[in-house]
Each structure stands twice: as C-alpha cells, then as structure tokens.
Chains A and B, each alone.
Chain A
C-alpha cells in the first residue's frame, strides 16, 4: 500500500534539494559577508507568543497549527512556528536584550494551513533581521542585501514594492477592516460603491491612489497632498528611496503592499518577480518591546524559498563538480574487500564521491570505474584505455592527472 505525503507538503528529490541547498548557500554566504550571524528558533512555540495585538492578525492565527502538547493539560496551546520574525524578537528579548545591535539570519520552515491547494502548508524562508537603532539606513541595507541574494541566484526583473505601515494603518483606521481595504485596493467596484455611501472622503482618496504606483518625488508629493497628516510617513519613504537611489536599486511605491502583518511600524518592502512574491520585510519597532519586553527597534526581511525555486527553474541548478567513482571488487575475499575499502577511503579524502557495492546509477554515468582488490585497473574515461596493475597511489595519480 502506498502511503501518500500529507496534503499541502512537498518532497524534494535530489535535483530539488540541490536547488534548495544552492539558494541556502548563496543566502548564507551573502549574509555572512554583510556581518549577519545565523540563529535558529524552535519549531514549537507557545501560541500566546503570536496572539497579542500587534503580532499576527486573527485571520492568520485562524490558520496556525495549534494543539495541546503532551503536558498541555492547562489548556495552553503550542503552535508549529507560523512566522519567522516573531520568534526572533522573542529570542532577542530572552537572551540578548542589551540594546546592542544584532544582525541575525535564519533558514527555517514555517507552517500555516492552506485550503486552496495553491500554496504549501509548510514553507521555507531565508530571513535576516537587523535589531537595534539603525534608522532608515538599516531598512535600505536589508533591501539591498535581499536584492543581492536574488541577483546572485540569477532571478532577474525583481520589482521592489515600497509601502509604509503608517499609511496602511491610516487607511485601515478609515476603512474599518483589512478585508474591505484589500477589496478597495484591488479595485472591487462593489466595495468602492459601498464605501462611497459610508465614507465618501476615503472613497475619494482611494480612487485617487488606487492602482497607481510611482517612484518619483512627485508621486510622494501627491500622496502627501492626499494624506496631509502623515508627513513623517512620507519623510521615511523619501529618505529610504534616496538611499536606494544612491545604491542604484529600482523600486516602486505601492501602497497596497504590506497588508496582513500587524507588526510592521515603518517602511514595508516586498520583492516580486513576474507576479510572484519572492519575499517581504519591513520595520517592526514595537515587536521586540511587546514579546521580548525589551525596548529595541528592528527591521528585517524574509525570502520565500519555494517561490524562488519556482522563479529560478531547473536551468539555474548548479550541478556538482565532484567526480563519481565506482569501485568493483573482483571477489568477495577479505583481502580484496580490504584493498577496495582502503582505496575508497583514500579517494574520498581526495574529494571524490566513491561507491562500492550497490550502485546509485548506471555504470555509464560514473566518471571512473575501478576494478580490483589487491591491485586495480582503471579505464580512462576520455581515451578508453585500460590501465592495469595499479597501486592505490597509481590510481590517485591517474585520476588527478585528468581531473
């Protein structure tokens, strides 16, 4: 009987896993070179880490995998980590709350129920968090770092969408619900008609900015005119865009982005490629005080590994450069086996992938096939010439000569 995998999960076969590790290694390498250090948080967290106002919305909490642990008779639930940033905020407050600057990165899996079958229920994220009073230059650094990672992964045509939590909160406050606001921003005519009857002023504002994106100071001036009370918000946006201009980053101001996460307090940014969201991030100055009891501002981003894998496609897989060797003992005798094991150890130490006995692939697919035990014969994969009576040292020399 075949037992299928759980709904909403995915297996990674060797080629997929190679792609995953490639993304992971590019991300790790970039983060380390920017001075970030790796951390890991537990897969299980208490539900109440995520329930405070200012963390996750009730809609998102309605999709978390929560359950009573084996000692959960108190009724307090635990969850499979639904978000990467909030546990980092807890970690900082619990272990490192000294007000010091901290640059963390993580590669973790997150879990949320998804009923449509369009998205996985377990997804992987590569995240970076910049904790401490870095100001807007920190936000710009994170955007540039994320773009560098995507560039190294050969993901082209990445669009950076910028928004600001101050603007979204103002719109939410006036609209009354995130769902309605999303409908309005999506251009739902019925929602707009409904809003016109309830709040004509907001409807007028939204009709002016709905579906419009921009990147110029002129666009910001237009927004300033529509929302005169949000000058600090637009100053933030102007300053960050200035820093991005200096570094040559391309971006769009896109007010609709950033809905759904309550913990953002400042700049919000998202990375898109051909309509697919590859990552997002933003400033969350109130989160560490809330869950870590530690008055520290912060910002961060996460790249969505599953979406990046889809965006890269198979052409981007970097194959292994390691040469594969198959050793075929000529008999089952102890001496022959011992000789083959010794050769295998020497070859592995020299960086070859060596198999003995059960093969993982067809013989023709190996770089080298070596037969023997006491001495060895090697067929030159290029010339087809067979060299016989070789010692271990001879074999190594022969392989290295053409490596």
Chain B
C-alpha cells in the first residue's frame, strides 16, 4: 500500500521542495512552475504525493485521505479550533515559514481590545481565519461581534469596514509596513509536519517519516505573498461619496481594460502594485482593491456601494443568502468563463444523466463534490438529487482533487485547456459568467452619485 503525502503549493513550496531534496526524496515535478499535482519520487516508488493549496492539507489529513502532510500550523489550528479532533497529529516544526497570527488594528485608528470591550458595540473582525477569530472573540467575551471571512487582503478593510483583522505575518515590523498595529499574537504560522493519527498507529510510516524527522532544519522566515500596504485611509468619507471595490488577481486585467474603455484613468491600479486604495480620478468616489470573491458579502454589508466582480461569485453569495440585497447592475460582457461540472477521464460517465444513473445503480454510493464555489456546488448537488453527497471545499489547485479525493469537480474555465491537461472531462455546464458591477438595492437610491458613476462605467461596455 502506498503512503500518501500531501504537499503545499504556493509560498511554502520552494522550502518544502528544498527540504525534500536535501533528505533525498528526489521528487520530480515539485516546483513552483510545475503544472503537475502528482510529483513522483524515484527513491520511494511506494510514495503517493499530491500537491494541494495549503489550506486544504490539514482537512485532507483529518478526514484520512492522506497519511502525512506539510503545511502552516495556522491552517491546522484554524481547522481544529472549529472541529476539535484528535485525528491530526502535529509532528515537527520544520523551521520555515516562520511567523505569527496577529490580532491587529489599523495604525490610523486608536483601537485597543479594552476600548472595544468598554464601548460594547458590535466588534467587526475581518480575517482569513474565521474559526480562530470566533474562538478569539468568545474568549475575549466581546458582547457582540461579527466575523467577516475574506479570502485575502484582510488588512484593506481596516479601519473603515472592520475594527480588527486577524492576520498572518512574519514579524511585527512587516505588520507595521502593512499599516497595521499588532495587539496580540494568537498563534504561529511555521511549516509543520503533520500526520493522520490512524495512519501513525496502523501503518509503518518510517520510510518517509524517519528522514523528515531527522532532517536538519534552520529556522527561516519567508516573505508572505499578496502583501498590500495600507498607506492611507478614506478618512471620514464625505456624505454621498461612492465607495467602489475593484478586484485584484485574475480579474484585474479585464477590469483595467474595461475602465480604460470607460475613459477612467486609474492611478495605482496596475497588476502587481501593492496599493490597495488607488486613485480613480472621479470626484466623490473612493476605491479599495479586494478579492472579487469577497465583494458580494461586503456590498451586502454596506461596506461598499459598488463593486466589480464575477457573476459566478455573485450567484455563489446569493445561493447562500437568498434574501441578500446585492444585485447585478451592469454586465461587463468581456472575459467570459464557464462554470462546469467535471469528472476524471477514467470515470465512465459523459453527462449528468450518466452520473445520476451510475449513482442509482449503486456503482457510486456516495459522491464527493469538490469546489471553490461551495454554495453553487451545494445547490447543484441538491437540485440534481446527487444524494448522498458531500461538499469538499477547496481553495485552489482544485483539479488535483480528482479522482482520488473527489468524484466531481465544480470549476470555472475559459477554454477548458487546463482541465484537459489534467485528464478531466466536462459533463455539464452550470452557467456562463462574466464580470459585472454589483450594488446594494437597499442603499442604491441613497446616493445620487451612484447613478453618475454607473453612467461613466457604461461607457466601457
């Protein structure tokens, strides 16, 4: 039987690869530019290694899909704080990816924990670690609190849209550079070797575990990715100011083109630029750059008046919160993607009907549906009676889940070429999605300027 090892992609990948090379694993195709998710070890042919987004690794070990894994301790603790389990064992600090999880406030505010408690208002916490945030808020005995989960750029929301951010950073100095003030440390982010308890008890993992435990390590810090520096605030936003959210990441290039077509000249909104509050050159409009996935929730909470995101993320939000006040105001048309149902080529089904028939026949007793679109995937499985099903949330590298760790993938694609490269086939198209402007129908009439901004944006259509 093969030993199963889950390896991180992303910022820990380089150091993990170095470590594995040093101890002689000889993993082919485990480097940042590789498109393969299944590196092979010539030295240990009985090792099955797979590459995941770091956030997924602790989950994969907890549910018993993998015997050993390497990921930041922050993601292990994020999982265990909500779902206490003895299934994941923390074996060894591997010394790289050092850093802390900080509770932080904006340097432009005078927030302290005691002050927040004394005021007694709702404490707003933005974070990539919603479970750790909830535990923290409960421990602090905040009388009332809201945790707004984000996929990234938590610092951008402070101080206007949140009181606290719970955020990973290498050091306090780095945190200050991001415009934040550390208030408390609630954990560490160091890369850890972790193991599934059952595997430790029942399998002989020594061939892999031994070299990893014996390896010499040096404590090293790494520069965290996706840093944004909050160098200013909106201050007191003048009444009537339109608060606009623009996307970072893949959608940024389409948005830049669209804004240029609309005659809007942005200052500080180029790909790779860390400025999270670029200038838009329109009076009465304030801009922040955030993740498109996070926009619908932010608009629903009246933190922004308008946002440019994808229709896929709008629907994912609306499927979870059907009475949300967020609605599509403009369809930007270009940059179309499809949201697809995908299976591995080895699976003998070519359509949704085939899949249902396979389930009905008992050949597939349960179905694991992996997706970044948790709510779209959930609705799809529910509406199509794919029972019993289990949603496997993913945070990227989703193609790698099939066929070992999921049966069906709900994934977006522009051309489908990446899916084909990963030996996957499309069995259904759930929707087509284009970038769009969204707004809050409860507040849209409250500012005249919103209609003016929409008119300007329409020029880019």
Q: Do A and B bind each other?
A: yes
Spell out A's residues near B (CB within 8 Å).
Answer: 1, 3, 48, 51-53, 58, 61-62, 66, 68, 70-77, 115
CB atoms of B84 and A51 under 8 A apart = no
Tell me which residues from 334 to 374 in chain B have a Cβ below 8 Å from any Cβ of chain A: 365
B145 interfacial contact with A, CB 8 Å = yes
Q: Mark B141-164, 1 if CB is under 8 A from A, else 0.
A: 111111111000000000000000
> Using Cβ atoms and an 8 Å threshold, which residues of chain B touch A75?
124, 146-149, 301
What are the 7 closest A-B residue pairs judged by CB atoms, nearest first?
A: A75-B146, A73-B300, A48-B144, A53-B141, A73-B321, A61-B138, A58-B138
Chain B residues within 8 Å of A62, by CB? 135, 138
Q: Is B322 an interface residue (CB 8 A)?
A: yes
17 contacts between A and B (CB under 8 A): A51-B137, A51-B142, A51-B144, A52-B143, A61-B138, A62-B135, A62-B138, A68-B321, A70-B321, A73-B300, A73-B321, A74-B146, A74-B300, A74-B301, A75-B146, A75-B149, A77-B134
Option from A58, A66, A74 in Cβ contact (under 8 Å) with B141: A58
Interface extent on B, as a size class?
20 to 34
A sample of 18 more A-B contacts (CB under 8 A), given A51-B145, A58-B139, A62-B135, is A3-B388, A48-B143, A51-B142, A52-B141, A53-B141, A58-B138, A58-B141, A62-B138, A66-B134, A68-B320, A70-B320, A71-B321, A71-B324, A74-B301, A75-B146, A75-B148, A76-B144, A76-B146
Do A51 and B138 touch across chains, with their CB atoms under 8 A apart?
yes
- Counting CB contacts under 8 A, is B297 at the interface? yes
State how many angstroms separate the Cβ of A193 from the closest Cβ of chain B: 27
Q: Quick check: is B323 within 8 A (CB to CB) of the other chain?
A: yes
**Which residues from 80 to 134 on chain B have a C-beta closer than 8 Å to any C-beta of chain A?**
84, 122, 124, 134
Nearest CB in chain B: distance from A263 CB, A: 13
Residues of A near B84 (CB, < 8 A) are: 115
Q: What separation, in Å, do the CA atoms of A3 and B84 have in the docked complex?
A: 25
Q: How far is the CA of A268 from the CA of B317 in the complex (A)?
A: 47
Cα–Cα distance between A61 and B135 once the two chains are bound (Å)? 9
Distance to closest chain A CB from B23 (angstroms):
36
Residues of B within 8 A of A (CB): 84, 122, 124, 134-135, 137-139, 141-149, 297, 300-301, 317, 320-324, 365, 388
Contact of B143 among A51, A61, A71 (CB under 8 A): A51
Q: How far is the CB of B146 from chain A (nearest CB, A)?
A: 4
- Which residue among A66, A75, A76 has the maximum number of chain B CB atoms within 10 Å of its CB? A75
Given contacts A53-B141, A61-B138, contact A1 B148 (CB under 8 A): no
Give the distance in Å from the alpha carbon of A77 to the alpha carbon of B130 in the complex: 12
Measured in the bound complex, the distance between the Cα atoms of B139 and A166 in whole Å is 23
Could you tell me the distance between the alpha carbons of A68 and B146 in the complex, rounded to whole angstroms? 10
Whether A70 contacts B143 in the complex (CB less than 8 A), given A1-B365, A51-B138, comes out as no
Least distance between A103 CB and chain B CB atoms (Å): 29
CB distance from A195 to the nearest CB of B (A): 23
* Contacting residues, chain B, for A1 (C-beta < 8 A): 365
Which single residue of chain B is at the shortest CB-CB distance from A75?
A: B146
**B244 CB to nearest chain A CB (Å):** 19
CA distance A52 to B122 in the complex (A): 12
Q: Which residues of B contact A61 (CB under 8 A)?
A: 138
Q: How far is the CA of A53 from the CA of B137 in the complex (A)?
A: 12
Query: How far is A68 from B317 in the complex, measured between Cα atoms in Å?
Result: 13
Are B138 and A70 in touch, CB under 8 angstroms? no
Is B323's CB under 8 angstroms from A71's CB? yes
Residues of B within 8 A of A52 (CB): 141, 143
Residues of chain A lying within 8 A (CB to CB) of residue B135:
62
Rounded to whole angstroms, the CA-CA distance of A243 and B324 in the bound complex is 57
Also in contact, A70 and B147, with CB within 8 A (given A51-B141, A62-B138, A75-B301): no
The answer for the CA separation of A333 and B324 in the assembled complex, in Å, is 58
Beyond A1-B365, A51-B145, whether A70 also contacts B139 by CB under 8 A is no
- A1–chain B nearest beta-carbon distance, Å: 7
Shortest CB distance A61–B (Å):
5
B411 to chain A, nearest CB (A): 25
B149 cross-chain contacts in A, Cβ below 8 A: 75
Kindly identify which residue among B144, B145, B324 contacts A73, using a CB–CB cutoff of 8 Å. B324
Q: Given known contacts A52-B141, A58-B138, is B322 in contact with A73 (CB within 8 Å)?
A: no
Task: Write the chain B residue with the least CB distance to A49.
Answer: B144
* Distance of A105 Cα from B154 Cα, bound (Å): 47
Q: Could you tell me if B138 and A72 are in contact, using CB atoms closer than 8 angstroms?
A: no
Q: B35 CB to closest chain A CB, in angstroms?
A: 36
Across-interface contacts of B143 in A (CB, < 8 A): 48, 51-53
- Tell me, rounded to whole Å, the shortest Cβ–Cβ distance linking B166 to chain A: 13
A276 to chain B, nearest CB (A): 25
Provide the residues of chain A in CB contact with B141, threshold 8 Å: 51-53, 58
Q: Kindly identify which residue among A58, A66, A73, A77 contacts B301, using a CB–CB cutoff of 8 Å.
A: A73
For A56, give the chain B residue with the smallest CB separation: B138
* Chain A residues with CB below 8 A from B144, complex form: 48, 51, 76
Q: Are B323 and A70 in contact (CB under 8 A)?
A: yes
Q: Report how far A61 CA is from B148 CA in the complex, Å.
A: 19
Q: Which residue of B lies closest to A72 (CB)?
A: B321
Residues in chain A near residue B320, CB distance under 8 A: 68, 70
Q: Which residue of chain B is the closest to A113 with respect to CB atoms?
A: B84
Measured CA separation A344–B320 after assembly (Å): 50
Residues of B within 8 A of A3 (CB): 388
A68 to B147, CA, bound (A): 10
* In the complex, chain B residues whose CB is within 8 Å of the CB of A115: 84
Q: Which chain A residues lie closer than 8 Å to B147 at the CB level? A: 75
B146 (CB) vs chain A CBs: closest residue = A75
Query: B126 → chain A, closest Cβ, in Å?
Result: 9
Q: Which residues of B contact A53 (CB under 8 A)?
A: 141, 143
Closest to A63 in B: B84
Complex Cα spacing A203 to B156, Å: 50
Q: How far is the CA of A77 from the CA of B145 in the complex (A)?
A: 9
Please state if B297 and A73 are interface contacts (CB–CB under 8 Å).
Answer: yes
Instruction: Identify the closest chain A residue to B137 (Cβ).
Output: A51
Cα–Cα, bound, A1→B321 (Å) = 32
A13 to B322, CA, bound (A): 38
Note all chain A residues with C-beta closer than 8 A to B300: 73-74
A residues near B317, Cβ cutoff 8 Å: 73
Residue of B nearest to A1 (CB): B365
A383 to B371, CA, bound (A): 72
Question: Which residues of A sit under 8 angstroms from B124, Cβ to Cβ?
Answer: 75
Shortest CB–CB separation between residue A393 and chain B, in angstroms?
54
Of all chain B residues, the one with the shortest Cβ separation from A115 is B84
Cα–Cα distance between A75 and B302 once the two chains are bound (Å): 13
For the complex, give the distance between the alpha carbons of A195 and B146 in Å.
38
Rounded to whole angstroms, the CA-CA distance of A74 and B161 in the bound complex is 12
Once bound together, how far apart are the Cα atoms of A86 and B388, in whole Å? 37
- Measured between C-beta atoms, what is the minimum distance from B157 to chain A in Å? 12
* B84 to A, closest residue via Cβ: A115
Closest chain A residue, CB of each to CB of B136: A58
A219 to chain B, nearest CB (A): 35
Which residues of A sit under 8 angstroms from B146, Cβ to Cβ?
A: 74-76
Closest chain A residue to B297, Cβ basis = A73
In the complex formed, the residue of B with least CB distance to A46 is B144
Give B323's nearest chain A residue, CB to CB.
Answer: A71
Measured in the bound complex, the distance between the Cα atoms of B122 and A61 in whole Å is 18
Residue of A nearest to B324 (CB): A73
Return chain A residues, CB-CB under 8 Å to B301.
Answer: 73-75
Closest A residue to B296 by beta carbon equals A73
Closest CB in chain B relative to A6 CB, distance in Å: 13
User: What CA separation (Å) do A71 and B318 show in the bound complex?
Assistant: 10
* B410 smallest CB distance to A (angstroms): 21
List, in ascending order, chain A residues with CB within 8 A of B139's CB. Answer: 58
Inter-chain CA distance A74–B317, complex, in Å, is 12
A90 to chain B, nearest CB (A): 14
Docked pose: A53 CA to B142 CA in angstroms: 8
Chain B positions within 8 Å of A73 at CB level:
297, 300-301, 317, 321, 324
